[in-house]
Amino acid sequence: MSAKNGGLFHATNFSLGVNLFFKVNSYLAELMNKYDSYNVEMEEIHHIHKLDKPSGTAISLANQVLDKIERKKNWSITDNNSDTLFIKDVREGEVPGTHIIKYTSAVDDIEIMHKAHNRKGFALGAVIAAEYIKGKKGIFTMNDLI
């Protein structure tokens, strides 16, 4: 892009809340890596019209967990074993998007969640990204914006 004197803004999800949630998820996974007594699982809930399972946002969250939790080797929506990050995918009603990461042990649970109330947050993030990149040259992501 910079060779053409322009700018490109790339994001898997333009919601500011989701991108802040990405940061929290990555940090929590880093902390939890040394605590083998906790198992981690995910749940994502979307509207009945959504065709992909799991969602791209769920895959991004899962990959962050896999990057930090050494005992998890891959993710799956069907297998639920000790070295697999299980992602429960739910399609119901008109839910715009909910993502939950849950660490469970014999003594307690730790859970983080992002729940979109509507689609406005995605549109607002796209507008903010467009304003951010105005006049800039190169390739930018939500990490640059946040």
Catalytic residue selected from 4, 50, 73, 134: 50
Catalytic residue selected from 4, 46, 73, 137: 46
Q: For 24-133, where are the E strands, in sequence order?
A: 39-46, 74-76, 84-91, 98-104, 109-115
115 beta partners? 98
Whether residue 54 is preceded by a cis peptide bond, meaning omega within 30 degrees of 0, is yes
Active site residue 72: no
CA distance 12 to 38: 28
Q: To which H or E segment does residue 29 belong?
A: helix 16-32
Active site residue 99: no
- The catalytic residue positions are 46, 50
